[in-house]
């Protein structure tokens, strides 16, 4: 291991970045160094520019993929190498604005009717019933279930933040049924076949994909689709968007507010000013 690599690892750990983020940053910088066959401390901003254009134009990476590389290089040069540059020297690719896919409640029922195993059904139902990310669902521990207060404790979710998520009576019943049938080894509610580890997110992704294909739904269903649907259905039922923000663990309200744009129920219930035109015109003095 080079001294530069070790120093970057130390800097990542000092800032307490998530383990997955640390691994990704190191991998991105390693790929950058291999591209030029040089140590990154011998490269400059023109090399960064050339590499990002290569990723966009030849590798055809998505804006999200390019921006992950930008973040890694920005950390390397501004934090670890302490170069006299600033954030504007690391331009980020503009991401197209896309509305999240949301299932209707009937489509949610149709999807879950085709989930193969009780374990996968329980884990995916947790994504929908509590609005959890897939990484949060598979990492749940038996001790995270608080049936007295009817909440799930999400430990170190995205952004290294703890939070509580709602535990509905129906979800609690399903989790109890699953627990009695599987008797999962502690601590994890959804353990892996490997001792002491939880179910891998990729395994749940695969089970979700298979269930979607069997369901015949035209909308693509992923575990994150279930989380989007949770938020939208709460909004349609009148839950304040600020409460939904807390339940989802969003740092910014505008991240949560986008669900107002994907709710057909809310949009359909909006009264157009055209419909009020005659009423308003009658109030105008002649």
Residue 72, pLDDT score: 96
210 contacts: CB under 8 Å, gap ≥ 6: 116
Residue 257, pLDDT score: 73
Active-site residue, selected from the candidate residues 5, 47, 200, 224 = 224
How many other β-carbons are positioned within 10 Å of the β-carbon of residue 67?
18
Active-site residue, selected from the candidate residues 158, 200, 209, 258 = 158
pTM: 0.71
Q: Which domains does the chain have, with CATH numbers?
A: 3-89 (1.10.150.130), 105-268 (1.10.443.10)
Residue 253, pLDDT score: 72
Catalytic residue list contains 250: yes
Catalytic residue list contains 32: no
The gap between the terminal CA atoms of the chain, to the nearest Å, is 85
Residue 255, pLDDT score: 72
DSSP string for the chain: --HHHHHHHHHHHHTT--HHHHHHHHHHHHHHHHHHTS-GGG--HHHHHHHHHHHHHTS---HHHHHHHHHHHHIIIIIIS--S--GGGSPPPPPP--PPP---HHHHHHHHTT--SHHHHHHHHHHHHH---HHHHHT-BGGGEETTTTEEEEEEETTTEEEEEE--HHHHHHHHHHHHHH-PPSSBSSB-SSTT-BPPHHHHHHHHHHHHHHHT-SS---HHHHHHHHHHHHHHTT--HHHHHHHHT-SSHHHHHGGGGS-HHHHHTPPPTTTTHHHHHHHS--
Catalytic residue list contains 158: yes
Residue 280, pLDDT score: 58
Question: Which parts of the chain register pLDDT below 50?
Answer: none
Active-site residue, selected from the candidate residues 28, 227, 228, 233 = 227
pLDDT in tens, 222-262: 999 999 999 888 888 888 888 888 888 887 777 777 776 66
Active-site residue, selected from the candidate residues 74, 119, 133, 198 = 133
Cis peptide, bond prior to residue 35, ω within 30 of zero: no
């Amino acid at each position: 291991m080079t001294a530069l690599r070790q120093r970057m690892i130390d800097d990542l750990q000092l800032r307490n970045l998530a383990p997955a983020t640390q691994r990704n940053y190191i991998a991105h910088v390693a790929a950058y160094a291999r591209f030029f066959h040089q140590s990154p401390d011998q490269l400059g901003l023109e090399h960064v520019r050339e590499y990002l254009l290569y990723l966009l134009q030849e590798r055809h990476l998505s804006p999200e993929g390019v921006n992950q590389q930008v973040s890694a290089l920005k950390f390397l040069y501004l934090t670890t190498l302490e170069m006299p540059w600033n954030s504007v020297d690391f331009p980020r690719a503009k991401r197209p604005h896309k509305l999240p896919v949301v299932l209707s409640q009937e489509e949610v029922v149709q999807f879950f009717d085709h989930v193969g195993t009780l374990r996968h059904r329980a884990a995916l139902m947790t994504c929908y019933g509590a609005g959890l990310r897939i990484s949060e669902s598979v990492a749940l521990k038996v001790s995270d279930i608080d049936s007295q207060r009817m909440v799930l404790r999400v430990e170190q979710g995205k952004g290294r933040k703890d939070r509580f998520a709602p535990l509905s009576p129906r979800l609690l019943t399903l989790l109890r049924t699953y627990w009695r049938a599987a008797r999962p080894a502690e601590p994890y509610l959804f353990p892996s076949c490997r001792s002491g580890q939880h179910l891998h997110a990729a395994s749940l992704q695969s089970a979700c994909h298979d269930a979607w294909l069997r369901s015949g739904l035209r909308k693509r269903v992923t575990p994150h689709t279930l989380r989007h649907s949770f938020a939208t259905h709460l909004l349609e039922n009148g839950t304040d968007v600020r409460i939904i923000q807390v339940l989802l663990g969003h740092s910014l309200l505008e991240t949560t507010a986008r669900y107002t744009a994907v709710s057909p129920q809310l949009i359909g219930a909006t009264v157009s000013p055209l419909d009020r035109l005659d009423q308003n015109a009658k109030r105008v003095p002649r």
